Amino acid sequence: MSDLPGIVVTGATGRMGQMLVKTVVQSGKARLVGAIEHEGSAALGQDIGVICGLGPLGVPVQSDPLPSFARAQAVIDFTTPAATLGFAALAAQARAVHVIGTTGLSEAEIEQLAPAAHHAVIIRAGNMSLGVNLLTQLTKKVAAALDADYDIEVIEAHHNQKVDAPSGTALMLGEAAAEGRGVSLKDVSDSGRDGITGARKRGDIGFSAIRGGDIVGEHDVMFAAMGERIILRHIASDRSVFARGALKAALWGQDKSPGQYDMIDVLGLAGA
């Protein structure tokens, strides 16, 4: 067991963090060597296995990531943009693969990841599931095949505790659609509609966000023209799909050269 890659989970006591802990422990492909939470968390010092209902694992929840990162081969990080930037620097120092599922990163924050990628593998994606990444590729192909007579709308739904909108997955799908059309998303993005907005601009890519209940994640990409609509859809009913994808990424990155990658690379879909 000791020769299996050691993995640290940040934000370990949140809903996604606990799912990641369970996935790593139950996989038989990796070892959990650290569980990180923010300073002041009530969980500090407690065994993460007990918190997750797995029984004692001998891995206490800690706020200082350095000791855990130093003995890890990978860090799986679904936290906040500010926390992720700090973890990126530390993971690079430890030469650990940094799998980033954090959403809401601005373009400036994404650029700040570049120095860390000179020293370690960074795998970042708005969504870690196989299905969503296949949907991304399909979106790009359909957008390339249809002209601007087809309005593109990305419609996403998540639970009522999600703090960012549009979701990282929605933006990833929007980027794929824009790439398919040979345009920059920032030039054609249309979101946050309210009030008298006027007619839709030809060629824009729209975003609609729904928040409610315990929705895990639903994404539609709609291509709407006069007389017809094409809808590509992905529904996630369990967070385990994201956790399995993140673990796959952490293991895939073990023998890769430093740099920035995404799930399209992990799944071998680049150029598909």
Catalytic residue numbers read 158, 162
Alpha carbon separation from 269 to 4, 14, 57, 264 (Å, rounded): 26, 31, 36, 5
